[in-house]
Copies of this chain bind each other. A is one copy, B any other.
Amino acid sequence: MAIPFFSKLRDKKTHLKLINKELQKVRDEIAAQTEAFEPYVREYMRRICRGQGKMLRPGLVLLTAAATGGIKKEHVTFAALLEMIHMASLIHDDVLDKADVRRDQPTPNALWGNELAVLLGDSLLAQAIVMGAEIGGSKFCRKMAVAMRDLCQGEVEQSSRLWDADMSRADYYELIRKKTATLFAVAMSGAAYLQGMDEEITEQLNRMGTLLGIAYQIYDDCLDLTGTDENAGKTLGTDAEKGKLTLPVFFLMESSCEDVADDVRNRVARHEEIDYTSLRGTEAFREAIQRSVDEALSRNEEAREVLWLLPDTKARKAMAEMTYRLDDLLRDCCTDL
């Protein structure tokens, strides 16, 4: 099961289809940007851009644009550059995590070593800023750069707090806000900004992006513990192994099954790998996933409320649909447990 946000839509009646053609334009723009790199960089970039992902951030840009007056050329460029920033962060992430596979493809570090992977990520980031400076003013550039900085700061905090028993659930939320929700937020508020929407609605769309990003990261964290490598298209369980304290882990530590709670807390304190294989199937595990999913569902619900501020269009319906799809994916995490 590939994650059917925008691609492979089987439901012919879905409104989300309306952005499929536009998403192809974003893919074309990324391909064109790839060709603009110098010869020694281009070959690598072609390979990197081949394995394209779920296009969540571009999808959010295009849906927001469509729901606030229509998709302009600038939105396509903006969608492409956000995906490029995201790709750069994944390339650097894979260096950090020593991951070999992503999106069913070997990672750049696996193919060409850490050296080139770091530099190719840097090149993508720089090109993304060049593109941003071409479509928006300096206020827009600042917005993008702040998002990039927050993303990086979130990652630094995450790397610094592996196995950190002092970390709280509130810290976790703040951390995923930075490392994931920032790009979702800037996708929506940036699209509104390029559309010339007023500050209040831009701010609300920023909030909606933040809520969706947090819900999505919780989903990703649950999937790391409940999914299989095949259905996720990447190596799972690495977060847990490395000692990233994600929401289900917090709920395991707070579990009413005291044996499990004690065991997990002790392992975290001793920086010992948690044995999720034997936890799967226990009541404590089911409960931890369910509570995590509930937290995500409630944020998703809150995100959906923002849609009432927008006129009733097909695009708004598509946005609502997208949030319901995330609901479905979240609920899927709880089946077969």
Contact = CB atoms under 8 A, between A and B. Distances in A.
A149 B130 contact: yes
B125 A125 contact: yes
A138 interface: yes
A118 interface: yes
Interface in A35-69: 37-38, 40-41, 44
Contact of A148 (B115, B120, B126, B160): B126
Given A40-B157, A118-B95, A161-B40, A123 B149 contact: yes
Oligomeric state, in number of copies? 2
B122 A157 contact: no
Interface string A134-168: 10111111101110110111011101110000000
A111 interface: no
Contact of A141 (B37, B96, B119, B129): B129
B123 A156 contact: yes
A307 interface: no
Given A92-B118, A114-B95, A153-B41, A137 B134 contact: no
A160 to B, nearest CB: 5
A150 B153 CA distance: 25
Nearest to A134: B142
Contacts of A144: 129
A7 interface: no
Nearest to A122: B152
A276 B81 CA distance: 46
Given A40-B157, A156-B44, A145 B123 contact: no
A127 interface: yes
Contacts of A137: 137-138
Interface string A68-100: 000000000000000000000000100110000
A45 to B, nearest CB: 10
Contacts of A132: 141, 145
A157 B44 CA distance: 11
20 contacts: A40-B156, A40-B161, A44-B156, A92-B122, A95-B114, A96-B118, A116-B156, A116-B160, A122-B125, A122-B148, A126-B145, A126-B152, A127-B145, A129-B129, A129-B145, A129-B148, A134-B138, A134-B142, A136-B138, A137-B137
